[in-house]
Amino acid sequence: MSRIAWAAVAAVLLASPALAVPLPSEPLIGRASVIDGDTLEIAGKRVRLHGVDTPESAQTCLNADGAAWRCGQRAALALSDRLGQRTVTCRPRDVDRYGRIVAACSVGGRDVGRWLVSQGWAVAYRQYSKDYVSAEDAARVARRGIWAGTFTPPDEWRRERRARGAAKRLGAR
């Protein structure tokens, strides 16, 4: 790609509304709607859970017998069940490239991210945090959630899906 093309891409990214989202200085507190296994909405604001990565909604995993199951959907349902109608407190840490507030969230004083990872519904998102590595190790050893069988790590699954989409678009030309 030429330098001019890269400059144009950079200009578009810098002008992106996602980058303009300010980081709230106060916690977000309220009832949360679950968007997917690691994303909530509180009072109209999207919140990405800090330090965790769950399988995507359309992602499947294999159980111990090799049968496919909708692990991404199950992770979201587990999170929804955990939160119920209780009040969630999210302490902002960052804003991601999609304009979501990245936050450490808790319900009843318990860390939601740690719970997701310890139950095997998420992996520690080591690229951004090492906070939940020990919880992931414990879930893996106990074979809880996605660790009961086999799965593609969510970040790898997204990369593969993007690559297939790009290859399909190139092949259509």
pLDDT in tens, 59-111: 999 999 999 999 999 999 999 999 999 999 999 999 999 999 999 999 999 99
C-alpha torsion sign, points 127, 55, 22, 111: negative
User: Is the model's pLDDT at 4 over the cut of 60?
Assistant: no
Annotate 60-90 with b (16+ C-beta within 10 A) or e (fewer): bbbeeeeeeeebbbbbbebbeebbeeeebbb
Q: How confident is the model at residue 3 (pLDDT cuts 50, 70, 90)?
A: low
Cα 24 off chain centre by: 20
Return d(Cα 134, Cα 109) in angstroms, integer: 19
